[in-house]
Amino acid sequence: MSARNPGMKLDLEWVSKVRVNTQAVLKRAQHIQGRKLAKKQWQAAWLLKAVTCIDLTTLAGDDTPSNVHRLCLKAIQPVRYDLLKSMDMHDKGVTTAAVCVYPSRVADAVKSLKAANSSLPVASVATGFPAGQTPLKTRLEEVRMAVVDGATEIDIVINRTLALTGQWEAMYDEICQFREACGDAHMKTILAIGELGTFTNVYKASLVAMMAGSDFIKTSTGKEAVNATYPVAIVMVRAIRDYFLCTGHKVGFKPAGGIRTAKEALVWLTLMKEELGDDWLHPHLFRLGASSLLADIERQIYHYVTGQYAAFHELPMA
């Protein structure tokens, strides 16, 4: 991991001056989606890079120790060994970036990874995920408990009401408290962009979250009606770029929700490369929040290696 973002004093003047040109953002998003994507071995290499940036996630009401255990094994060996061997990548330590679970399942994930002798990080969604509507005291306690159980990354949700009503000081203060509760654990701040109304609001929320010391900003919980979209991502990554130019601190970006295909993963990597540069093409500054994306990437890699598509049962979950 690179040096963490220490945050800064809330600069309301900077926040109030923000104006986003919607048409320009939409045009740029269209341009990125229309780009020709890498083919053959270059595509396979990019797909493996995408795998190493995935936060492999399960956030279901019926999560159990056994499906969390399966998820952990898949995170450690995300692509079948024989496929990696034929690409000469079997000894390169290809794993996903982290495993992401509810706070009550952190201990299960830590135990499974430890038993497998893996140092893969466990991320946990805390702070009253996904709505963030529980009392602040409860949300802070949830962060602390997840950290005590072994989570080294915490995905928090902002209080959307504060962002929608322009209560930036209150939002900043809450996020600062979450950052303190995280201790050494890295904090990813979910903006729930589908519920913020405008691009300008998304940009402002991004800035405030970074000023409060977020290590990452993340698009969505995956539970809103609108999740990760390219236009919103452009707004957020430009806020990241402006914050970096102003402070010298690099903040990571995590799109999440609805990212299911290998092709989409390639578009996300292209977007990061073009907007923020190669430094942001690594798991310490870029994550893909996903649960079903890995299956499609593995399918495409299988096709690259064998020239045919795998039957569903040939690439099981674990």
Residues forming the active site = 218, 254
* CB-based contact 194:226 (threshold 8 Å): yes
Report how far residue 67's alpha carbon sits from residue 58's, in angstroms, rounded to the nearest whole number. 9
Report how far residue 170's alpha carbon sits from residue 13's, in angstroms, rounded to the nearest whole number. 16
Report how far residue 187's alpha carbon sits from residue 123's, in angstroms, rounded to the nearest whole number. 9
Report how far residue 277's alpha carbon sits from residue 172's, in angstroms, rounded to the nearest whole number. 28
Report how far residue 4's alpha carbon sits from residue 174's, in angstroms, rounded to the nearest whole number. 19
User: Could you give the C-alpha distances from 78 to 41, 245, 304, 314, in angstroms and in order?
Assistant: 19, 36, 16, 14
* CB-based contact 253:280 (threshold 8 Å): yes
Spatial CB neighbours of 196, under 8 Å, sequence gap ≥ 6: 160, 163, 164, 202, 205
User: Which 8-state DSSP code applies to residue 11?
Assistant: -
> Quick one: tokens of 236?
């957020």
DSSP string of 69-103? HHHHHHHHS-S-HHHHHHTT-TTS----SEEEE-G
CA atoms within a 13 Å half-sphere pointing along the CA-CB vector of 114? 9
**Count of other CB atoms within 10 angstroms of residue 27:** 12
Report how far residue 279's alpha carbon sits from residue 250's, in angstroms, rounded to the nearest whole number. 9
